[in-house]
Amino acid sequence: MKNPTDPAAMTAVELVSAYAAGALSPVEATEVILRAITDRDGAVNAFCLVDPDRAMVQAKESEARWQSGHARGLLDGVPISIKDVFLTEGWPTRRGSTSIDPSGPWPVDSPVAARLREDGMVFLGKTTTPEIAWKAVTDSPLTGITRNPVDPSTTAGGSSGGSAAAVAAGMGPVSVGTDGGGSVRIPASFCGIVGFKPTYGRIPLYPASPFGPLAHAGPMARTVEDAALLMDILSLPDPRDPTALAPPVTALRAEMHRDVRGLRVAYSATLGYAEVDAEVATIVAGAVAQLAEAELLVSAADPGFTDPREAFELLWAAGAATMLSDFPDGTRERVDPELGLVWDRGETVRAVDYLAARNVAAQIGIAMGAFHTDYDVLITPTVPIPAFEAGHDVPPGSGLHSWPQWTPFTYPFNLTQQPAISIPAGTTRAGLPVGLQIVGPRHSDDLVLAVARFAEHVLAS
């Protein structure tokens, strides 16, 4: 799909460069990408709302700023989609649920939408999510099944599957998703794009997520550079999030260019407990070998914790039940049946059990803090399998019963609140993408992006 003259194939950085040179206008780029949505989204179902009128108004306003020599922000005029869990002024936020009334007036921007609007970006529409973003594939009673543009018979992953599918299909260069257990990184891996989960609190959130410290927002893009620029926009402060971190002292877009050769890298093929598809394992091991040849100091090492899935699933169920308890009467009868079971479980969670699960998270965080005194970053597969048949929560015939069972590499780092990114590592014989995950210590967002950019260039060469 790469074509430097086709706005639908250009990165955000390439679009901004073209705007600055007068070779392309935001209006022209937005028109092309809106046509791409019309032509392509029927096959993948990435969007639950497209607003061409608003997009063109914003594009014309951006065009006027560029023509006057006063571009507003880093990505002024770049088209973007927004996952339908972020409040966005003038658009309904239905979270994949038939229980939310779309009638308005919807007057509030979330911090994510506010920062993007202030930067001058062009809002294309909102992307699909499973109901309340509860699972790692993207289908819901409201919007149906979102498919993988690489192979529409397979899932795009989730819960930010709509955002991943939109970016991978050329329906906008960038998007913003959420990640409570891998929901940015999983679909990034399945769709062959970049997905970054920053340190908890790096991107302010409002309203507060009932999933608590598991919940992160994160950029989704075709390149690490685009993700870093989005991070510099999204990590600006917002007074509505009392848990938000101060913005980075140095711009992430500058820090990602640092020389990372000689860094100590731990490669864990299984985290000590995961089962990995043989082809995925071979692809990731080959990518890691290339990084070692490029002067990263790679050693095989597991972090040393056991699978925390039980604690994660308890915290996840409690969060889901908390959110759904505020929904209208009758919601229980309308939700995804499997979500209903999670809701039922969440309503039985005792405070002591919740705190015990939070202690599991704390202990893994302590272990990872010690691990990173020996290793600058940890590399793993992002997901141990390639994308599977769309319309299923787990791979058909696998015998698995819950989505965390097939994504053991992602949710541990929501428990620990560490930054983690997925970048493309290669493709299977069937052409399905495989992701490589890079994890850093808390607050090392700059380091993770720098290593990811280096790895991106090495693996593309």
Give the active site residues: 83, 159, 183
Residues in the chain: 461
CA–CA separation, 125 and 162 (whole Å): 11
Q: Are 35 and 50 in contact (CB under 8 A)?
A: no
Residue listed under structure tokens 């699960």: 357
275-301 b/e (C-beta count within 10 Å ≥ 16 → b)? ebbebbbebbeebbeebeebebebeeb
CA–CA separation, 387 and 124 (whole Å): 26
Residue listed under structure tokens 């925390």: 308
Sign of dihedral through CA atoms 301, 304, 309, 312? negative
Task: For 122, list phi and psi in degrees, rounded to 5.
Answer: -100, 120
CA 294 to chain centre: 27
Q: Are 128 and 84 in contact (CB under 8 A)?
A: yes
213-222 b/e (C-beta count within 10 Å ≥ 16 → b)? bbbbbbbbbb
- Helices then strands, each counted (H, E), the chain: 15, 15
CA–CA separation, 96 and 424 (whole Å): 28
Sign of dihedral through CA atoms 311, 317, 319, 322? negative
Q: Write the DSSP string, 60-96.
A: HHHHHHHHHT---STTTT-EEEEETTS-BTTB---TT
| Torsion of the alpha carbons at 179, 413, 455 and 76, rounded to the nearest 10 | 30
403: buried, middle or exposed (CB in 10 Å: 19+, 13-18, 0-12)? Answer: buried
In 3-state terms, what secondary structure has residue 390?
A: coil
| Long-range pairs, 109-113, Cβ under 8 A, ≥24 | 110/86, 110/205, 110/206, 110/207, 111/203, 111/204, 111/205, 111/206, 111/234, 111/238, 111/240, 111/241, 112/82, 112/86, 112/176, 112/203, 112/205, 112/217, 112/234, 113/82, 113/86, 113/87, 113/88, 113/89
